[in-house]
Chain A
């Protein structure tokens, strides 16, 4: 099973709303990632968690707040977003953060529209 599950698949939110994106994997992976992808562009790294601790924050605005409650779950809390934040948000995981043989597995993504 190489599955990363993301919910919801689609989300429409107003600029004053608070919502969350959720990600789950049961592969025993200890590194989890959030990426943002705009149309016709490659994914851009936002956050990396390693052993449930935040390892990388790519200078993401504070209106995006990640959380890793346990080794299987990763959340992205959204608050006061802007229309330009509309994008496909991808969650990914890998066995560990370091190492040369680390395949990264992606979920199907959550389509976010900010109105």
Chain B
């Protein structure tokens, strides 16, 4: 059974810092990995999707990497801003059931 773990559970940083969020998964047989952002009481916003054959994806100040063999992904946020404060969720899409398995999320607070 696929399990997804995110570390740290919460993170507080001053504005302008570069930061890394970690995601690990137990079964390397995945279709892709997707990073989402969720603001309090809101839905999920897709940030980046990395296909199983890819190593990284970039969008603006965000860079996500994938090491499928070791079951790890990182989300790098450059020059963090208070507007980046949210919960960040990673999810892997598994073959067979085609399910999206989520981690518990990292709550990020960027202080101005």
Binding site for B on A (CB under 8 A): 2, 4, 6, 33, 41-43, 45, 48, 55-56, 88, 90, 92, 97-109, 111
- A106 contacts B99, CB within 8 Å? no
Additional A-B contact list (13), CB under 8 Å, known A98-B98, A99-B31 = A2-B46, A33-B100, A42-B89, A42-B91, A55-B98, A97-B98, A100-B53, A101-B32, A102-B31, A102-B93, A106-B45, A106-B46, A108-B42
B83 at the interface (CB under 8 A from A): no
Residues on the B chain within 8 Å of A100, using CB? 31-32, 51-53, 93
- A109 contacts B99, CB within 8 Å? no
Residues of B in contact, count (CB < 8 Å): 25
- B43 contacts A108, CB within 8 Å? yes
- A43 contacts B32, CB within 8 Å? no
- CB-defined interface of B35-66 with A at 8 Å, one 1/0 digit per residue? 01000011111100101110000000000000
Residues on the A chain within 8 Å of B45, using CB? 106
| A92 and B102 alpha carbons, distance in the complex (Å) | 14
- A42 contacts B102, CB within 8 Å? yes
| A48 and B99 alpha carbons, distance in the complex (Å) | 9
Closest chain B residue to A99, Cβ basis: B31
- A42 contacts B103, CB within 8 Å? yes
- CB contact under 8 A between A107 and B89, given known A48-B98, A101-B51, A102-B32: no
